[in-house]
Structure formats: C-alpha cells, structure tokens
Structure 1
Amino acid sequence: MAEIVIEWDRERLLVVRGRGVGQRVELSLAEELPRSENSGDTLDIVQHLRQLFPGGGEKRRLPATVVFPRQQVTVHRVQLPPVPDADVPDLLRMQAALKLTVPVETVSMDFTPLPLQPGAATRDVLLVTVPNEQLTLVRRTLADAGLDLAEARVSGYCVAQLLESAGLLRDGANGRGVDVVAVMRRDFLELTFLRGRTVLFSHSGASWTAADAIERTLRAELSRARMSAADVVGDQKIDRIVLVGAHEITSAVTDQLSARFDGAVIERVDPAVLVTTVGAGLAVDVVAAAGALLSGVGSGVQAIDFANPRKTPPKRDLRRVKVLGGALAAVVLFAGVWTYRQGRIADLTRKKGRLDTENAEIRELVEAGGKDLEWAEKIGRWVDRDVEWLDEVDRLRKLMPGTDRMFVDNFAFATVQQGGVGLMTFDAWAKTESEINDLSRRLAEAGYRVKPYETDVRPAAASQEYQIKVKMELVLPEGREAGVVAESAS
C-alpha cells in the first residue's frame, strides 16, 4: 500500500502522505501544488515533488497512488451476456470498441461489476476509462520525480472506501433505493451513487459561487446527476443523501432538499471526523486522497485501478505437459516395438537354427549318392537364392550420381530359370553421355554385367535438361541371382 497519494486535477495537485488508523486517516503531509496553463509542462511539479519526497530516486522509487477526479474520467454501463467472471475482461473490451466514441486503443480502462438482478438475462458492469496520454503523462512525471505509479484510482470509489472504513455505509440497501454521497468541495461538487457498497454512478459539477447559493447549487447538480445516472443505470429512488463538508457548508442545506428527492434522509458528515490533516481547510478537499490510503485494507468496495486493471486470469499452459506426455507415449511405444522386434528376431533365429540343422542332416543323408547330392545342392541353391529387389534398387542408387545429373525410371525385375540369373532393366536420363558411360563403369566395377546399350537423344518429360536417354539391362552380381522360377514386377 502506497503512503503517498496525489489527486491529479486539471488546475492543481493535492499531495498527501499518511496512513489509516482505526476508522480514521492520519495525514502527515497535505500540500496543494498549482499546475501551469500548459498541462504538458510538468517541470515545476517534478521539482516540487522532489522537494517533498527527497528519498525517491532512479534506483529506489517510492510508490505513489494517483487519484483522478470524476471530471477526468468517463463512465459507461455495459450489458454483457451472463458469462463467468473470468470471461468478462475480454468480452468487455470487445463491447467497449462498440460503445466508446474514441478508439479503444487510446484509453486505459477498468470496470466494476454491478449487482446481479435475479432472473436477468444479462449482467451489467460499470466501465470507467481515462485517456492513455493522461496516464502516460502522470507516469512520466512521477518517474522524473523519483516516484513509481503503484495505483491509478478514481475519486468516487476512494470516497466510498473512506466512508466504509468509518462505518457510514449501509450493509445492504433495498433492491431499488440508493445512497448519494455529496462531497462539497470549494472548487467542485462530486456526487457518488451507491447501493450498499457498490458504486453505481458518479457525477461532478460546479460548486457554489456564494454562501446563499449552496443549497440551490446542490439541488441543481443532484437533479443533473440523477438524470445522468438514469441514462446509465436506470431511474433510481434516493433513500439517503450524505453531505460531506465543513459544518458551515452542510448546515446551509435545509431539509427542504429531502422533499425534492423522494423524501431522502439527509445526513451530514464533517470530514474532520474522518481525516486528521495538517493543512487548514483542506479536510474536505483530501477525502478522496485519504480514501485511497485505505486501498491496502480489506474493503467491500470494488475499486477502479487503471494501473492494475482487471484482466482475464492466465490460462495454464499445458503444452509442455502434452509434449512430455507425447514423448513418454513415444518411448513406451518404441520400447514395445523394440521388445517385439527382439522377440521376433530371437524366434526367427531359432527357426533358422533348426532349418540349418535339418539341412545338415539332409546333406549327410544324400552324401552317398552323386545324383542325389547334385539335386540336394540345387535344392540348397533354391533356398539361398532369394533376391531382395528393394535392396538391389538401393545399391543401384548408391552407385548413381545425384539427381541433378541423372535419374532413372521404369524399373523391371526378372529371374531366368536357366541358372537362376537375376535381371534388372530401367530407363535412364542424363544431361551428358559421359555420365551414362560413368554409370556403366561403376556398375561393372560393382560386379554387375552391363549388357550393350545405345544412347538416344530424347529429352525427358520431367525436365528438358536431361537430353540423353538409354535403356540399360543388368545381370546381378554372382551370389545375388534370383530363384529358379521366373517373376517380374515394375
């Protein structure tokens, strides 16, 4: 909770420092700083703030709360579908883009939910905005003075917190009645409409010009505020009017005011009872700033804070959990596949061992007869001559140059019964004839028998760069011939 509060008005700044003590606020500092006509010129303000708070600096900034009077902000009621509280901030921002008369990117906003009406098909919130340039100016000025903007509040909500701390707010009002708190300052009137501890609307108006015009001015501003509130939150019956001001000011308001406003009960509160201040005559002026000093105390008043607006709660990022879960599932799957593969290898190894044993026994049995032995050898060759054509294609790929120089197509495979010779034919396209000859040389060195071929100048359909075509026929190297029965595929 910041101990420094600055009420940032157009014509002056009210700077206070203090703390809450029980139901009162004790101020150790209360200063009024005038502003120059050029609102953007903050050099004098920075110098005054540095004199008041010399402990602040670039490395250690003192936290400060800024309070904007009602005339510095705008208030709108926005109706939303009955969505959960967590979804309100995002939905409200979309609605604000339609509701506001300025681009939503040019304002800072916060909101407070209004009481839910039983059986209502919608829920209402009170949207409060302030220009971004105003908030930026405040933040920059405080930073130059060695202060840090901790909160950016609105005066009406701060006054409600001060009255709540003093026990002057009713625990609950009826469904239609409202209380109106009138802060009667010498420079302006500020009226806040409350139901229980919920701020429904606030209004700022001109102050009186003479002592005999106090009641007339208050009556006129109350009428204007009631009409404005009706446009925002609907027509409201006024049950109570709380006048906050010096005794000589509030006593000038007679009970005739009650007859004009639904027979409302009029209560008068001396700000000196709420705030102990060091500046003469400043008690009523600093009630909003004093209420802001109670922001860290548990309060039932939901406040506006532009520096820390309500936002949608961050959703838990489950992507890492999903990635880890996927990785774990992949590991488990790999382990299962590996175990199955190892089991299959072991099973096939055992079968191969049995077949090798049986084959050895057969060889021993036919060793005595030459013809029988010859046929046994042929049978053995039958078993051993199983060609894996995909392996042959892979071996051919390794012997070929890159596809930027040559590519092949139209594979055909066959085995010839006589001698079990394995054959492979394919079409090859190359950019030059030398690359065809180089491939033929590599195949011969690898053990393939390359049958004579003739090149043909015929560009490939895939690319005109490949000009030379040849149809090659290979005989597999010794030891990789096909079985006895002829077969072919492409």
Structure 2
Amino acid sequence: MPRLLALEWDAREARLAVGRTGGKGVIVDLAMSIDLGPAEEAPGETVGERLAAVLTEKGVGNCETLVAVPRGKTELRVLQTPPAPDDELPEMVRFQALQQFSSLREDWPLDFVRLDSGDEEQTSILAAALSPQVVQEIQESCAVCQSPARKLVLRPFATASLFKRRGDDGRCRLLVELLSEEVDLTVLVDGQVVFLRSVRLSADDLSMALVGEIRRTIAAAQNQLGEHRIEAVSLVGNEGEYAELCEGLAERLDLDVQLFDPFAGTDVSSDLRKDMPSHPGRYAALLGMLHDEATGIAHRIDFLNPRRKPAPPDPRRRYALLGAVAAALLMMLIGTIWWGLRSYDKKIEALEAQSKGLEKTVAAAEEVRSQVEEIDGFATGDITWLDELYDLSNEFLPTEQAIVDQATLSSRTGGGGQIALKGHVTDHNLAEDLEKSLREVWPEVNGAPPQPDDREKVYPWRIEMGIVVPSPEVEELNNDE
C-alpha cells in the first residue's frame, strides 16, 4: 500500500502528517506545520505551491492523500426521516436536505450519519454538505502537490474517531480542539458525534473565552442529547501544551476536564520523536484519518465517497440464471421421457411408485406457490415512498410561491399511509391552488385554512395539509373503475 498523506489548512497555517502502514495500523514519519502568514498575504492559490515545496524538500513522493475539511466550510443540519432501509436513506436524506438546507444544490456532495434518537417512528440524521467550489479549490491545491485528494473528511469526525480508538469510557463528553484560528467543540455520546460547532476565539484571556463557548455549546446541544448530560470535557493536547489551561477550565466549569494527547498510543518514527510538532493537539484529525485509512475503517463523513443508493443488480446475471434453470429443466424433462420409454415394459408396480413420487413433488410445488402468493400479496400492499416523494415534488407549487417547512411520511396499519405537510405560501389563495394540484395525484387531501404568520416576510401565510396515500391495491382498483 502507498504511503498516506493527511492534510488540512486555514488562512494562517497548513498542517500535514505522513504515515505508512504498520503492525498496529500506521507509523507516522512526519508531522509538521507550514506558516501561511496573515490571511491577506496567503491567497488560496499559493497553498498548493507551499505544500509542494515542503513535500519535495522532505522527500515525500506519491501518496494516498486525505484532506480534513473544517466545520465552517460545510452546511450541516439534523434531519428527520421516516424509518427506512439503509439503501433507501441516501435519496430520502437528499430530498429532505434540498427542502431544509439554505444553500444546497443538486450538484453538492452530501454525506450523513444516523443518530440514535430512540424514536421508532422517525430516524434522526446528521447530514453535511460541501460546496463544489470548495471541493474544486482543495483538489486544485492537491493537484499542485501531484497528490489528488482521495478522501475529504469532516474534521470533527476524524478527531472523534481517534478519541474512540484510544478507548472511550462511554460518558457523554465534549471534545475541545484548539487550532490556529478557531476551536472545534464536538459532543460525543458513546463515542459517536451528535453535535458540533466551530467558533473563533480572541487571543486575549483564552481561558475565559473558552469557558463561555463551552457553556454555550452545552446549552445548544441539549436538544440533541435527550436524557444524556455532558459529564466530562476532553481538551485535545498534551501537558506541555495545555496543562495550565486544563486546570483553569476544571475550576471554572465544575466538570471533569482531561487532556487528550493525540500522539499518545500512535507509533512514530525515531526521527519524528526527536522533532515533535510544537502544537501536537492540532494534529488529532490528521492522525485519526491516517489510522482509519490504514486499518480499512470507513470515514464517517466523506464528501468524495458519500453514501449512495446501491446500483441495481445486473439483469444479465438474472437472465443467465433463468436460462440455466430452464435448460436444466428441459434436460430433466427429456431424460424423464427417454427413461419412461425405455422402461415401458416394467411392471405396473414400478409405475405406481414413480407416480407417488411425482405426487409428492407436485404437493411440494403447490406449497411453494402458496407461499409465493402470500409474499406477493404483502408486497402489493406496500407503499414505495420514493415514488410518492417524486409525485409530491412534481405537484408542489414553485418555490417562488410556496415552501415546505416539514414533511412527515408514515405508514398505516392495514396498508396505505399518510403525508403531513407544514409550510408557507406568499398568498392565502395559493393554499386552494395547492390542494387542487395535489388532488391530481391523491383524491383525499385535507387542508386547514391558511393562517397569517407575521414572522415570515416572503411567505406570510402558514399552511397545513394532510394527504391520505392509498395502498397500491386500492389505487389500482380506483384506476380500473
């Protein structure tokens, strides 16, 4: 396997780590930072040139390149979807995200993770999207280094992966990662990311400013935590870097505050051990990506390799299998006829025995056919939600006239389902137009009178509608009539 190169940068500093696979996962040979100077002196197009110069100087050749993307460059939101199999979630999540994200477009890469909400009727999803322009800028910088990016990983998830790898004690905790320009605050439950934010801090009285942001994060995350409470804080860095800050946070927060050294437990080369970076806490995400890549663990949020609907099975394989079965049956039939003609002069008792054997085969086939009919009956009553979402998108008013705030899809016992819509329109008369449009697909649409909403300027009328989705059997019967 080629060497691994992990990168991240902001306006002031670029950081890189180079590793190779070893017995325990990865051995880190190089970890260093590159000062990019003040933001006005370090335009984005020069980052690739500076990285390329350093990599050439250090003798780093062709590598599998991983890039950590900061929270601030992404759009991230918690979505709610109906319970669905994993292969249907990607399209459902993108549909919901297009309605609720402020800037998302069809060409934006989007990845997501499930959140354990404990709600059987809804699935909580943490979805993140990245602008294609940001992806292009990163790839252009990597191209200058002759190391195109293979993975674009959301930085807090890479840090959380490294922390979990070191041995999570199961407590609900807050990871605090201080970087050159900002601080990442990530809430973990059982080692999984449930809430994250990134803020810039003033260099004056860092401890006091950090205490305030930690308290704001704890308050903001409570809606996602449910019955959990943040019990501990892990400050990413070693004693030489943040020992005094760690003690100050513990006194002011009245929480268990611990240091998390990202290099502890990581194998490093002898050369690197002699020249460790001055701010080791800033390399947690890079080390997390290296470990996951070296051990074959999929990155939780990867914008170049997001979760997608599986490709449909190749029909040629199915046709080949059916052809082989048909040929085998034909050969069996020919053999049976030939054997019957050859044994025509045998005794009647032998023919009766053979007939009984065939009766057992027919009985078994009848049983299988009965089971197949039951399965077909069940499948016929099931709703294909992706088709309903497609119809809803086609029949809905243009975005200049109406928006959807919330769409809840649920199945009903005995077949069929319902869709509950909440949204806003620019004019109260549009509510009736929307109901007429939706009845083109679903005969039973119930809408409450539109209500004025002073909080909305562009869409000042609030609407609520309920759509009854018939089961496929009922819908087919209505079409026949």
Which residue identity does 2:79 align to in structure 1? V
The answer for the alignment partner of 2:244 in structure 1 is: 251
Query: Does the C-alpha gap of structure 1 residues 35 and 111 become closer, same or farther in structure 2, counting only changes over 3 Å?
Result: farther
Give SS of 2:139's match: helix
TM-score between the two structures when normalised by the length of structure 2 = 0.58
1:200 has 2:194 as partner: yes
Question: How far 1:241 sits from its partner (Å)?
Answer: 1.1
Please list the CA deviations of residues 427-472 of structure 1 after superposition, one character each: whole Å capped at 9, or x if unmatched: xxxxxxxxxxxxxxxxxxxxxxxxxxxxxxxxxxxxxxxxxxxxxx
Q: Is the 8 A contact 1:151 1:305 kept in 2?
A: yes
Identify the residue that residue 431 of structure 1 maps to in structure 2: none
Q: Is the 8 A contact 2:71 2:156 kept in 1?
A: yes
- Can you list the C-alpha shifts for 1:59-115, whole angstroms capped at 9, x where unaligned? x95321000122222321111111111211111111111110113325321111112
Alpha-carbon separation, structure 2, partners of 1:304 and 1:53? 27
Q: Deviations over 1:114-137 (max 9, x none)?
A: 1251x5211111111221100111
- 2-side partners of 1:187 and 1:270: how far apart? 20
Matches within 5 A, 1:236-385: 236-247=228-239, 249-254=242-247, 257=250, 260=253, 264-273=255-264, 278-298=275-295, 303-318=300-315, 321-322=318-319
Corresponding residue for residue 225 of structure 1 = 217
Q: Is 1:51 aligned to residue 53 of structure 2?
A: yes
Aligned residue for 2:164, secondary structure, equals helix
CA distance in 1, matches of 2:108, 2:229: 32
Moved more, 285-294 or 265-274: 265-274
Q: Distance in 1 between matches of 2:326 and 2:163?
A: 60
- Paired residue for 1:31? 33
1:208 is displaced (CA, Å) by 4.7
Q: Structure 1: how far apart are the matches of 2:305 and 2:221? A: 26
Amino acid at match of 1:191: L
Match of 1:268, as an amino acid?
A: L
Structure 2: gaps (5+ residues): 334-481
One-letter identity of the residue aligned with 1:266 = V
Instruction: Tell me the percent identity.
Output: 21
Aligned-pair CA distance for 1:33: 4.7
Among 177, 181, 186, the alignment partner of 2:175 is 181
Q: CA deviation at 1:311?
A: 1.2
Report the CA distance shift for 1:55/1:246 in structure 2 as closer, same or farther (over 3 A): closer
Report the equivalent of 1:148. 148
Task: Tell me if structure 2 keeps the 8 A contact 1:18–1:28.
Answer: yes
Q: Distance in 1 between matches of 2:210 and 2:218?
A: 12
Q: Give the number of equivalent residue pairs.
A: 321
Query: In the alignment, what sits opposite 2:347?
Result: none
Secondary structure in 2 matching 1:147? coil
Contact persistence 1:24–1:166 (CA under 8 A): no
2: CA distance, partners of 1:246 / 1:324: 61
Look up the equivalent residue of 2:260 and give its one-letter code: V
CA contact (8 A) 1:245 1:284 kept: yes
Work out whether residues 161 and 299 of structure 1, in 8 Å CA contact, stay in contact via their aligned partners in 2. Answer: no
Aligned to 1:165: 165
Q: CA separation of 1:265/1:324 partners in 2, compared to 1, >3 Å: closer, same or farther?
A: closer
Q: How does 1:39-188 map to 2 (within 5 A)?
A: 42-54=44-56, 62-117=63-118, 120-167=120-167, 169-170=168-169, 172-173=170-171, 178-188=172-182
1:15 aligns with 2:16: yes
Q: Separation in 1 of the partners of 2:55 and 2:290?
A: 17
In proportion to residue count, which structure has more helix? 2
Instruction: Tell me by how many angstroms 1:164 deviates.
Output: 2.4
CA distance in 2, matches of 1:256, 1:7: 27
1:3 aligns with 2:11: no
Secondary structure in 1 matching 2:84: coil
Aligned residue type for 2:290: L
Check the 8 A contact 1:198/1:302 in 2, yes or no.
Answer: no
Supply the AA of the counterpart residue of 2:82: P
Distance 2:243 2:227 in 1: 26
Q: 1:30 Cα deviation (Å)?
A: 1.5
Partner Cα separation in structure 2 for residue 54 and residue 182 of structure 1 = 33
Matched residue SS, 1:120: coil
CA RMSD of aligned residues (A): 3.8
Following the alignment from structure 2 to structure 1, what is the Cα–Cα distance between the partners of residues 227 and 263? 33
The 5 Å alignment of 1:429-440 reads none
Q: How far, CA to CA, are the matches of 1:253 and 1:29 in structure 2?
A: 24
Secondary structure, in 3 states, of the residue corresponding to 1:125? strand
Partner Cα distance (1:136, 1:281) in 2: 31
CA, structure 1 residues 264+41, in 2 after alignment: closer, same or farther (shift >3 Å)?
closer
Deviation at 1:285, TM superposition (A): 1.6
Letter in 1 for 2:130: V
Residue 252 of structure 1 aligns with an amino acid whose one-letter code is: L
Q: Which runs of 5+ in 1 are unaligned?
A: 337-490
Q: How far apart are the structure 1 equivalents of 2:227 and 2:13?
A: 34
201-210 vs 15-24, which moves further: 15-24
Tell me, yes or no, if the aligned pair for 1:215 and 1:254 is still in contact at 8 Å.
no
Q: Which amino acid aligns with 1:181?
A: L
Question: C-alpha separation between the residues in 2 aligned to 1:290 and 1:300?
Answer: 13
Rounded Cα–Cα distance in structure 1 between residues aligned with 2:27 and 2:244: 24
Matched AA of 2:215 = S
1:295 aligns to what SS in structure 2? helix
Equivalent residue letter for 1:150: R
- 1:299 and 1:191 mapped to 2: Cα distance? 27
Contact 2:33 2:277 in 1 (8 A): no
Question: Aligned in 2, Cα 1:145/1:252: closer, same or farther, shift over 3 Å?
Answer: closer
Aligned residue identity for 1:273: A
How far residue 199 of structure 1 moved from its aligned partner, in angstroms, is 0.8
Q: Of the two, which has the highest radius of gyration?
A: 1
| CA distance in 2 between partners of 1:96 and 1:270 (Å) | 36
**Distance (Å, rounded) in 2 between the aligned partners of 1:5 and 1:66:** 6
1:300 Cα deviation from its structure 2 partner:
7.9
Query: Is the 1:3–1:63 Cα contact (8 Å) retained in structure 2?
Result: yes
- Partners of 1:187 and 1:207 within 8 A in 2: yes
Deviation at 1:43, TM superposition (A): 4.5
Aligned equivalents of 2:159 and 2:123: distance in 1? Answer: 25
